[in-house]
Amino acid sequence: MQRKRVKARTVTETIEAAGILLTIGEASRLLHVHENTLRRWGELGVVKVYRIGPRGDRRFKAEDLGAFVVEEAKRLRANATKPLKFPKRAKLAS
């Protein structure tokens, strides 16, 4: 009996295929931000958050976090090409 070869998947592909939801701790470690920052982003709608269970625990899909990272990188790259504008110095009263 011959086994069918399966293409190796990345971690993100495996999570997406299995439909695994990441906890707030896992997602915050993945994005290198504090858990409270991720909670705030979820409340503001910056990152898609799913509430599960009777306590309303937060869960995040890896694909949503990946899309957030890509969009944030595009935004930062676009802003990096603009010259910085420094505020004009206030005149001191003599």
Q: Spell out the domains of the chain, with CATH numbers in brackets.
A: 19-70 (1.10.1660.10)
Nearest-5° Cα angle at 43, 41 to 45: 65
Identify whether the C-beta of residue 22 lies closer than 8 Å to the C-beta of residue 57. Answer: no
Is it the case that residue 10 has pLDDT exceeding 70? no
Q: Which residue would you say has higher pLDDT here, 61 or 7?
A: 61
What are the pLDDT digits (tens) for 22-43? Answer: 999 999 999 999 999 999 999 9
Q: Which residue would you say has higher pLDDT here, 7 or 16?
A: 7
